[in-house]
């Protein structure tokens, strides 16, 4: 039973057959005269029979002429004239080529199955005074659904009551949860972060956003044409020329052995090896840089890429919010403090006025002069100490990084879903959240802080408004920081003759800010999965060959549709990686220029392989026509081309692109010279 299971595995079976065939060919070459039966028969049966069978089936059922047809003709002809070694040797080489080609093709992917597993299974529906848990498939348009914290939203709809923050990254790629309240739209497949809310179902079942995205992935994958091997592309002409040459030689010389020799030397062994050996060497090269090539023809497609489309969050940015500025109001002026080096001095104790803890009570004017950026950050970090919101956690982490310890815990703490937090810190009431929170608590807006908030939003930041003891005191701005190597990376890609664009689900300000930082001129913001897919389709309809780089589930359809899809393997989801042709295992985008340069070098190597093998075949054909080469010697000589191809391809393993290496070194040095945050 173990042997049967072993032989059922095609790769293991082929490897075993190759080992046995190699041993039989060695025995045939040195000992055939001493044995009653030529051992090369083993190679003919194990390696040759599957080739002949496959070629015959393809020719009869589909009239599909491939390189295997010429190989089959050479095998049969060699066997008929008793040249068993030549037949076995050709079958052996072709089987090696087929095995190499198989190993460069990705295994069946499970991306769509993973997406299906994201689909909500149940929903909590309100009917009359009863709350029922039903299958998500049973939700109907107009149903009122109740969604608790941590639950996945089962349908597209509109919030009726309640406030919350929704993690929309699965659909839009936004790194920060989006605050939602009555009247706001929510999407199926997204996750409720805090509190509970009731919603009206507007789109259900196959019309929901998640189901539409699943269909997009399926259709994009089906529409991506696979590149056919060059030997198979030219197979019809190769067969016609080979048969014509053999027939003419036979008619002119009357020697069938010369005709058979022509068929043997005409076998496209080197043509078959030219592409897979180079691609495997290229795959081995980039693997050392943490790049996994999942599709065998991805490097071939990547070499012809004309435009590289970046997702923003987690690709050109780190994908996590960081504190970038702390602003405080001092009298009539608003001061901005560098978030990475807040003022070390605390406010003068003598000038600090004791304040009431009533959040709505006005405070004396001395309150405004009492706060520095350092003190404001200290109070807000303490207020957010118990918060589960990503922005609150980012503020606490920033404080811990600056001070080397966690902030104190608040005396009282209340989470306001979709708004922010209310807490008591050191006897003072601290409000930290959006502008709606401050407005609901009766805090009057400050014009200077409003200007600062708008400036931070235009720079791609998210603003946390802060009020202490009922007065607007300052704000903290957070942003998803661009990767330090983004600009050098984009410059290196541009130097390779490839233009860059940015596709993101984020708002216009955040998208424009990151694009400026990275040096990308063309930006498309607020992109849903179908929007990204449509943009790629539109660009490719104009003749562009798009390479898409992304990390989120929302990028999966675009990665499938693009000429080449590259996923961030570390922060990226499994679904994204399944949808891509190439994965950056360590999320190190600095090596993208090397990958692109290596792809171009791989195609140059393939062309050189083809030219060398065709030249050698041409010379061998002339020698076969004149009778200088017989079938056995012809088989050995024409396989010199296969050896040359393998050696030339192996040089790719050591290839390093000087331009991309220089850019990588420059980015690394810049990153290392930055102050520790």
**Which residue from 644, 639, 643 is spatially nearest to 617, judged by alpha carbons?**
639
Please count the CA atoms within 13 angstroms of the CA of 90 that sit on its side-chain side: 36
- Tokens (6 digits) for 77: 């002809």
Please confirm, yes or no, whether 485 is among the known catalytic residues: no
CA gap 672, 535 in Å, rounded: 37
CA gap 424, 443 in Å, rounded: 16
CA distances to 167, 334, 473 from 330, rounded to whole Å, are 35, 6, 8
**Which residue from 103, 448, 134, 77 is spatially nearest to 256, judged by alpha carbons?**
77
Rg (CA), the chain: 33
- Tokens (6 digits) for 488: 């050098």
Q: Are the C-beta atoms of residues 551 and 447 closer than 8 Å to each other?
A: no
- Tokens (6 digits) for 409: 């815990």
DSSP 572-591: S-HHHHHH-SEEETT--GGG
**DSSP assigned state of 562:** S
Pairing between β-strand 462-468 and β-strand 420-425 as defined by DSSP bridges: unpaired
CA gap 337, 378 in Å, rounded: 13
DSSP 87-124: HHHHHHHHHHHHHHHHHTSPPPP-HHHHHHHHS--EEE
Residue of 311, 469, 587, 657 marked active site: 311
CA gap 556, 574 in Å, rounded: 10
Buried b / exposed e over 100-126, threshold 16 CB at 10 Å, is: bbeebeeeebebbebbeebbbeebbbe
Residue 321 φ then ψ, to 5°: -70, 140
Q: Could you write out the three-class secondary structure of 652-663?
A: HHHCCCHHHHHH
| Burial environment of residue 552 by CB neighbours within 10 A (0 to 12, 13 to 18, 19 or more) | buried
Percentages (nearest 5) of helix, strand, coil residues in the chain? 55, 20, 30
Query: Helices 84-103 and 67-80, interaxial angle, to 10°?
Result: 160
**DSSP assigned state of 442:** T
Q: How far is CA 166 from the centre of its chain?
A: 24
Q: Which residues are catalytic?
A: 311
């Amino acid at each position: 039973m173990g042997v049967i299971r072993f032989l059922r595995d095609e790769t293991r079976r082929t490897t075993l057959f190759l080992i046995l065939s190699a041993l039989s060919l060695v025995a045939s070459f040195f000992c055939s005269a001493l044995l009653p039966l030529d051992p090369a028969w083993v190679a003919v049966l194990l390696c040759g029979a599957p080739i002949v069978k496959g070629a015959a089936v393809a020719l009869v059922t589909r009239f599909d002429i491939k390189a295997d047809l010429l190989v089959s003709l050479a095998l049969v002809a060699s066997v008929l004239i008793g040249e068993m070694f030549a037949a076995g040797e050709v079958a052996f080489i072709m089987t090696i080529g087929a095995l190499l080609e198989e190993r460069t093709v990705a295994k069946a992917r499970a991306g769509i199955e993973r997406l299906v597993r994201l689909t909500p299974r149940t929903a909590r529906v309100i009917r009359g005074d009863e709350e029922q848990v039903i299958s998500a498939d049973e939700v109907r348009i107009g149903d009122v659904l109740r969604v608790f914290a941590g639950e996945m939203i089962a349908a597209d709809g509109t919030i009726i009551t309640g406030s919350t923050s929704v993690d929309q990254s699965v659909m839009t790629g936004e790194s920060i949860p989006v605050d939602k309240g009555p009247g706001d739209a929510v999407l199926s497949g997204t996750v409720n972060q805090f509190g509970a809310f009731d919603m009206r179902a507007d789109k259900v079942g196959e019309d929901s956003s998640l189901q539409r995205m699943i269909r997009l992935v399926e259709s994009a994958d089906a529409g991506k044409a696979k590149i056919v091997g060059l030997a198979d592309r030219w197979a019809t002409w190769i067969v016609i020329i080979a048969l014509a040459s053999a027939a003419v030689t036979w008619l002119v010389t009357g020697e069938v052995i010369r005709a058979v020799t022509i068929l043997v030397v005409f076998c496209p062994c080197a043509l078959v090896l030219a592409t897979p050996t180079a691609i495997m060497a290229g795959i081995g090269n980039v693997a050392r840089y943490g790049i996994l090539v999942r599709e065998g023809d991805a490097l071939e497609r990547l070499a012809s890429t004309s435009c590289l489309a970046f997702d923003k969050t987690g690709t050109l940015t780190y994908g996590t919010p960081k504190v970038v500025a702390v602003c405080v109001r001092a009298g009539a002026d608003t001061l901005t403090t560098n978030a990475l080096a807040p003022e070390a001095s605390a406010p003068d104790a003598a000038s600090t006025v004791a304040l009431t803890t009533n959040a709505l009570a006005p405070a004396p004017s001395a309150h405004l002069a009492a706060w520095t950026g350092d003190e404001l950050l200290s109070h807000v970090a303490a207020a957010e100490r118990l918060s589960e919101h990503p922005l609150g956690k980012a503020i606490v982490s920033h404080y811990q990084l600056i001070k080397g310890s966690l902030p104190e815990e608040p005396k009282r703490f209340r989470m306001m879903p979709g708004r922010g937090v209310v807490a008591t810190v050191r006897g003072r009431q601290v409000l930290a959240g959006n502008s709606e929170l401050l407005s609901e608590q009766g805090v009057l807006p400050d014009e200077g802080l409003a200007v600062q908030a708008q400036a931070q939003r235009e720079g791609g930041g998210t603003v946390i408004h802060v009020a202490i003891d009922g007065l607007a005191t300052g704000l903290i701005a957070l942003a998803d920081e661009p990767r330090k190597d983004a600009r050098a990376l984009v410059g290196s890609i541009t130097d390779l003759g490839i233009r860059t664009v940015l596709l993101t689900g984020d708002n216009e300000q955040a998208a424009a800010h990151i694009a400026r930082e990275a040096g990308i001129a063309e930006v498309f913001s607020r992109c849903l999965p179908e929007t990204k897919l449509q943009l790629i389709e539109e660009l490719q309809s104009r003749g562009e060959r798009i390479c898409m780089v992304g990390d989120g589930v929302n990028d999966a359809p675009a990665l499938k549709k693009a000429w080449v899809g590259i996923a961030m393997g570390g922060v990226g989801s499994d679904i994204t990686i399944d949808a891509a042709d190439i994965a950056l295992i360590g999320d190190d985008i600095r090596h993208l220029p090397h990958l692109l340069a290596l792809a171009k070098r791989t195609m140059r190597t393939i062309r050189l392989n083809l030219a060398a093998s065709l030249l050698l075949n041409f010379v061998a054909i002339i020698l076969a026509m004149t009778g200088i080469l017989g079938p056995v010697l012809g088989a050995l000589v024409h396989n010199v081309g296969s050896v040359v191809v393998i050696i030339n391809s192996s040089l790719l393993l050591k290839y390093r692109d000087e331009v991309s290496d220089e850019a990588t070194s420059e980015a690394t040095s810049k990153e290392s010279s930055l102050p520790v945050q």
